[in-house]
């Protein structure tokens, strides 16, 4: 089965090609701006910039059974966000239609829901309501992919070595504050990047038997608290956080440090989802949010900072 992975250097993309390359059923091809370090020499790679090189995808997608889009831009420039997260999806689909319209698995984010009032909702429970230009670009990409008939996968918070956008800044903020915000009791849906890769593989397997997964929340049955998530790294760093402060106190402390209030508030309240699409056998086997090598990576980043 020919599988084409678009994007290969990101946190999730690396886990996807690492997992799929070990399965002899898949003839894996990767396309992206640069060849990922560590990508086995046996896996073909095509350099392509989705913003400018649409035609270069044509030959890569010929004969593809499935296309997996793991490309995204999470930087601060709104124009680039739209160019990659929305325009890139349109580019992939245009090339796919010229090459035979293979099914598309779109790796997105549950951040497109924005603030949710009722926690723990399953697929279809929430309206897409992005609250930032980044989330809007991801939502626009999802809409394009959905119109094509893609499988949309939405994790919320993803950890693992290479995660510079979720756990690392969250950890740095708590160490800077020297305290847990509201006791660190807020519960969130967190998965390791390797689990997202497992869900990608599950989705491909379902497509192979004609069972389309239209939308899946990539979450485990039980959320974790902020304290449960951060404490292993804090302890491994030789530091401790014993104090608990209110959200208002945290915002007051964070302001002189240049930490935005919205970043603090985001993790002072519950934010978790559930799934009725993923089988229990898959979610029960999910890797814990953090493993030993991941903790070592986060510690190295703290030391470097």
Residue 274 pLDDT: 96
φ, ψ dihedrals at 63, nearest 5°: 80, 5
Residues in contact with 69: Cβ distance below 8 Å, sequence separation at least 6, in sequence order: 6, 7, 88, 89, 92, 104, 105, 106, 107, 145
Is there a contact between 217 and 157 (Cβ–Cβ < 8 Å)? Answer: no
Residue 168 is encoded by which pair of tokens?
């690392």
pLDDT tens across 107-156, in order? 999 999 999 989 999 999 999 999 999 999 999 999 999 999 999 999 99
> What are the residue boundaries of the structural domains of the chain, listed by start?
2-159+190-218+274-283
> Between 52 and 246, whose confidence is greater?
246
- Which residue shows structure tokens 């390797």? 194
Our CA dihedral for 252, 171, 19, 89, rounded to 10 degrees, sits at 20
Q: Tell me the helix, strand and coil percentages in the chain, rounded to 5.
A: 45, 15, 40
pTM of the shown model: 0.95
Residue 288 pLDDT: 75
The half-sphere exposure of 109 on its side-chain side, counting CA atoms within 13 A, is: 25
CATH number of 2-159+190-218+274-283: 3.40.50.720
Residue 263 pLDDT: 82
Residue 262 is encoded by which pair of tokens?
């919205």
DSSP E strands in 75-222: the ranges are: 104-107, 151-155, 157-159, 179-181, 187-188, 190-192, 215-218
């Amino acid at each position: 089965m020919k599988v084409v992975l678009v994007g290969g250097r990101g946190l999730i993309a690396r886990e996807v090609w690492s997992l799929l390359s070990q399965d002899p059923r898949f003839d894996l091809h990767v396309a992206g701006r640069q060849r990922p370090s560590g990508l086995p020499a046996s896996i073909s790679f095509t350099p392509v910039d989705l913003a400018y090189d649409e035609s270069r995808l044509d030959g890569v997608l010929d004969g593809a059974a499935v296309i997996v889009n793991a490309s995204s831009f999470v930087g601060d420039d709104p124009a680039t966000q739209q160019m990659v997260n929305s325009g890139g999806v349109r580019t992939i689909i245009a090339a796919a239609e010229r090459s035979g319209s293979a099914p598309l698995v779109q790796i997105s984010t549950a951040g497109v829901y924005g603030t949710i009032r009722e926690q723990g909702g399953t697929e279809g429970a929430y309206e897409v309501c992005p609250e930032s230009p980044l989330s809007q670009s991801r939502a626009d990409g999802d809409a394009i992919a959905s119109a094509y008939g893609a499988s949309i996968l939405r994790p919320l918070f993803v950890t693992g070595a290479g995660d510079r956008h979720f756990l690392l800044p969250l950890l740095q903020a708590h160490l800077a504050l020297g305290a847990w915000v509201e006791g660190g009791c807020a519960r969130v849906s967190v998965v390791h990047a390797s689990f997202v890769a497992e869900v990608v593989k599950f989705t491909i397997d379902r497509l192979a038997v004609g069972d389309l997964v239209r939308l899946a929340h990539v979450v485990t049955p039980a959320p974790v608290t902020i304290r449960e998530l951060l404490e292993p790294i804090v302890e491994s760093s030789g530091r401790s956080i014993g104090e608990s402060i209110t959200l208002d106190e945290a915002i007051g402390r964070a302001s002189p440090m240049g930490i935005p209030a919205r970043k603090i508030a985001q993790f002072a309240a519950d934010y978790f989802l559930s799934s009725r699409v993923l089988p229990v056998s898959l979610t029960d086997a999910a890797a814990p949010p953090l493993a030993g090598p991941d903790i070592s990576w986060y510690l190295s980043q703290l030391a470097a900072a």
